[in-house]
């Protein structure tokens, strides 16, 4: 009997969109409808199983080979870039990284800026590319209040609807890059298990895998 393909899946919105995508690909996903507090689920035909985990842990499971495949946002992959292959852009969970601040913020000010963010790698790369040396202040969440309180000059954060920025009196000064949900794979698993390639190809035909330009 062949081993099921193990998929580390980001809990929450990505999990729900992935279940819909797999349904479109022809898989019977009814086993995911009454989850309770369980965190591991096997498909009825035992061809694959899901591990429901926190976003940054998806790359850890895939890197260690505990999961063959991972489904996670590009924001997480930028912060945790090694130990897996990025295979597919699933084209959901669309949002962007932006620089935002209060209206009086001057992006062209030559003083050394303080940038608050949950994404220090993204922020550092962005300002490095512009040739700007900034001080990064690491914040775990609710980063939008930091410019208002004077803890930071600006923030680098995810913007989806923009509602959180507006509600906290901030505006976007610069867009950094588009973010979407990606499918990643463990390199050894891809090489050694042909079922994984067929599985990914089946998903790819549904997604269409078109890259949108970031506007």
CA angle 188, 189, 194 (to 5 degrees): 120
Instruction: Report d(CA 110, CA 134) in Å as an integer.
Output: 11
Question: Per-residue x/- marks for ligand PRP, 128-167, CB under 6 A?
Answer: -------------xx-x------------xxxxxxxx---
Strands 154-159 vs 114-117: parallel, antiparallel or unpaired: parallel
Nearer residue to ligand PRP within complex by CB, 16 or 46: 16
CA distances 192 to 7, 9, 19, 195, 197, Å, are 16, 22, 26, 9, 10
Nearer residue to ligand PRP within complex by CB, 29 or 154: 154
Instruction: Report d(CA 42, CA 29) in Å as an integer.
Output: 10
Q: How far is the CB of 17 from ligand PRP (least distance, A)?
A: 15
Q: How far is the CB of 193 from ligand PRP (least distance, A)?
A: 34
Nearer residue to ligand PRP within complex by CB, 7 or 179: 179
Phi-psi group of 118: left, alpha or beta (phi > 0 → left; psi -120 to 50 → alpha; rest → beta): alpha
Nearer residue to ligand PRP within complex by CB, 126 or 196: 126
Nearer residue to ligand PRP within complex by CB, 89 or 157: 157
Q: How far is the CB of 50 from ligand PRP (least distance, A)?
A: 21
Instruction: Report d(CA 127, CA 33) in Å as an integer.
Output: 44
Q: Does 99 bind ligand PRP (CB under 6 A)?
A: no
CA distances 126 to 106, 113, 129, 165, 172, Å, are 17, 13, 5, 20, 15
Q: How far is the CB of 164 from ligand PRP (least distance, A)?
A: 3
Site for ligand PRP in 163-192 (CB under 6 A): 163-164
Q: How far is the CB of 18 from ligand PRP (least distance, A)?
A: 18
| Footprint on this chain of ligand PRP (rule: CB under 6 A) | 141-142, 144, 157-164
């Amino acid at each position: 009997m062949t081993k099921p393909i193990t998929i580390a899946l980001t809990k929450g919105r990505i999990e729900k969109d992935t279940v819909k995508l797999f349904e479109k690909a022809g898989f019977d996903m009814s086993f995911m409808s009454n989850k309770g507090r369980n965190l591991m689920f096997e498909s009825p035909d035992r061809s694959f199983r899901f591990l429901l985990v926190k976003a940054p842990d998806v790359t850890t499971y895939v890197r260690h080979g505990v999961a063959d495949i991972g489904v996670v946002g590009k924001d997480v992959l930028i912060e945790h870039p090694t130990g897996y292959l990025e295979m597919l852009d699933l084209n959901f969970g669309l949002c962007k990284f932006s620089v935002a601040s209060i209206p009086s913020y001057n992006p062209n000010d030559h003083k050394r800026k303080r940038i608050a963010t949950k994404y220090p790698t993204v922020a550092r790369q962005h300002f490095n590319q512009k040739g700007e040396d900034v001080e990064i202040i690491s914040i775990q969440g609710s980063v939008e209040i930091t410019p208002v309180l004077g803890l930071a000059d600006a923030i680098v954060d995810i913007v989806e609807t923009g509602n959180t920025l507006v509600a906290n009196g901030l505006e976007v000064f610069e867009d950094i890059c588009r973010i979407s949900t990606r499918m990643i794979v463990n390199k050894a698993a891809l090489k050694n298990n042909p079922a994984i390639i067929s599985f990914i190809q089946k998903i790819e035909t549904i997604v269409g895998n078109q890259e949108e330009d970031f506007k």
